[in-house]
């Protein structure tokens, strides 16, 4: 659950001083929300769906990032492309359905029938006469950058981003190279609207001080979480137990547990390429700010995607991914796996909403971070840096 790898010879992870949080208004002020959507969500790669959600030539899907509606479309060769869902004539939406397959080879505006090839080129204009100097080549669809990474689709509203989606995973997170991400199938999808700012969810994700109170079942499964810690070196007195490899000190699942499920047991085939360390860890996180994290378990993969809806509302989409053949054959007990994951997510959502409610106090200008909240501090520093970078680029 670490966002940024610690660069120090001192193994203790914790903060050495009480650090101020972001201002409370940053979690509910509409102007701040709009600024973050411009500076962060419009300038970074955003996970929007799985590649399998666009299966075959001429399939399309619309997604929304803030106020911007995007059409994802596979061309005749199966290459995925992205455009603003806006006709170049008078700005009408092109796709009125959330997903589907084009009936023909062209994307046709429902208003005045301007038609576009699947690569975005303007092909047809029904006007009886084209104005002098009008060139169809100048009126193609507005492009956005699209990338597929191991079965996940990312969009960047900047048509020419400086780095790829793969290059912008957070430092210090695992590669998940031993999990066959691109070959897995969605066995369950869970969508939830949370009444909280998007940053509150990430902050909750990056500390476990809340785990003993909020997640009794998870704290039982991952004993170090029950101590309010994420890793051995979160404890300022870690040296006292440096040689103790029991899970309450070293991390990992409780003795006898194998994965995140209702009973801690696997309920499907174990991925064969995992290392011994990956099997013992019980959970391996890869984080891609600001929109997603992926967790590798020994028998399935779980992805969680965030999308801000408003200053105090965030949509969460969780997907449980499994090998296709045993899933289709009914050889995976999906319910036992999903039930545990949904329990944890619902507990997180509920406490995030409670956090949101308290931030409206006119007297609470900002909070304070405790030593164990070092990754919350790093996340907030990342937010501050993104906002500064956007201001510099505008200068």
pLDDT band at 9; cut points 50, 70, 90: low
Non-local CB neighbours of 201 within 8 Å, separated by 6+ positions: 194, 306, 314, 316, 348, 349, 352
Q: Could you tell me what percent of the chain has a pLDDT over 90?
A: 94
Per-residue pLDDT, averaged over 168-186, amounts to: 93
Note whether residue 338 is domain-resident. yes
DSSP class of residue 88?
T
Non-local CB neighbours of 314 within 8 Å, separated by 6+ positions: 193, 194, 196, 197, 198, 201, 306, 307, 308
- Are residues 135 and 198 located together in one domain of the fold? no
What is the domain extent for residue 173?
A: 19-43+169-393
Note whether residue 269 is domain-resident. yes
pLDDT at 10: 67
Note whether residue 10 is domain-resident. no
Give the C-alpha distances (Å, rounded to integers) separating 200 from 146, 290, 308, 319. Answer: 27, 12, 11, 21
Q: What is the DSSP string of 58-81?
A: TEEEEEEETTEEEEEEE-TTS-EE
Per-residue pLDDT, averaged over 288-302, amounts to: 98
pLDDT band at 7; cut points 50, 70, 90: very low
Q: What is the DSSP string of 12-59?
A: --S-SS-EEEEEGGGGT-HHHHHHHIIIIITTS-EEEEEGGGS-STTE
- 316-367 pLDDT tens trace: 999 999 999 999 999 999 999 999 999 999 999 999 999 999 999 999 999 9
101/199 Cα distance (integer angstroms):
35
Read off the CATH number of the domain in which 57 is found.
2.102.10.10
- Are residues 251 and 389 located together in one domain of the fold? yes
- 238-248 pLDDT tens trace: 999 999 999 99
46/36 Cα distance (integer angstroms):
14
pTM above threshold 0.75: yes
pLDDT at 221: 98
Does pLDDT of 143 surpass 90? yes
Number of structural domains found in the chain: 2
Does pLDDT of 3 surpass 70? no
Average pLDDT for the chain: 95
Does pLDDT of 163 surpass 80? yes
Q: Could you tell me what percent of the chain has a pLDDT over 70?
A: 97
pLDDT band at 175; cut points 50, 70, 90: confident
pLDDT at 4: 41
pLDDT at 250: 93
Query: Which phi and psi angles does 366 have, rounded to 5°?
Result: -165, 160
């Amino acid at each position: 659950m670490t966002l940024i790898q610690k660069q120090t010879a001192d193994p203790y992870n914790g903060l050495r001083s009480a650090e101020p949080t972001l201002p409370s208004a940053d979690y509910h002020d509409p102007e701040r929300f709009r600024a973050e959507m411009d500076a962060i969500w419009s300038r970074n790669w955003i996970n929007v769906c799985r590649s399998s959600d666009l299966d075959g030539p001429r399939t399309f899907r619309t997604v929304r990032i803030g106020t911007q509606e995007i059409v994802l479309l596979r061309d005749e060769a199966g290459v995925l492309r992205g455009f603003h869902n806006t006709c170049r004539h008078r700005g009408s939406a092109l796709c009125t359905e959330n997903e589907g397959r084009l009936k023909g080879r062209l994307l046709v505006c429902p208003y005045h029938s301007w038609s576009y090839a699947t690569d975005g080129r303007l092909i047809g204009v029904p006007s009886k006469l084209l104005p002098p100097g009008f060139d169809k080549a100048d009126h193609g669809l507005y492009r956005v950058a699209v990338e597929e990474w191991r079965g996940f689709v990312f969009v960047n509203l900047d048509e020419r981003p400086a780095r790829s989606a793969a290059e912008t995973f957070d430092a210090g997170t695992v590669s998940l190279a031993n999990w066959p991400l691109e070959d897995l199938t969605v066995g369950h999808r869970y969508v939830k609207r949370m009444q909280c700012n998007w940053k509150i969810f990430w902050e909750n994700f990056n500390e476990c001080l809340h785990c003993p109170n909020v997640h009794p079942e998870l704290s039982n499964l991952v004993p170090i979480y029950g101590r309010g810690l994420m890793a051995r070196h979160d404890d300022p007195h870690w040296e006292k137990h440096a040689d103790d490899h029991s899970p309450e000190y070293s991390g990992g699942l409780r003795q006898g547990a194998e994965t995140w499920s209702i009973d801690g047991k696997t309920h499907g085939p174990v991925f064969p390429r995992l290392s011994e360390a990956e099997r013992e860890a019980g959970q391996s996180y890869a984080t891609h700010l600001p929109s997603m994290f992926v967790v590798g378990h020994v028998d399935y993969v779980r992805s969680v995607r965030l999308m801000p809806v408003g200053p105090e509302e965030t949509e969460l989409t969780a997907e449980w991914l499994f090998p296709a053949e045993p899933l289709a054959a009914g050889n995976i007990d999906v319910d036992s796996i999903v039930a545990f994951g949904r329990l944890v997510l619902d507990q997180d959502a509920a406490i995030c909403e409670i956090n949101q409610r308290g931030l409206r106090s006119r007297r609470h200008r900002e909070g304070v971070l405790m030593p164990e909240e070092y990754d919350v501090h790093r996340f907030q520093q990342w937010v501050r840096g993104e906002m500064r970078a956007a201001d510099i680029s505008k200068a």
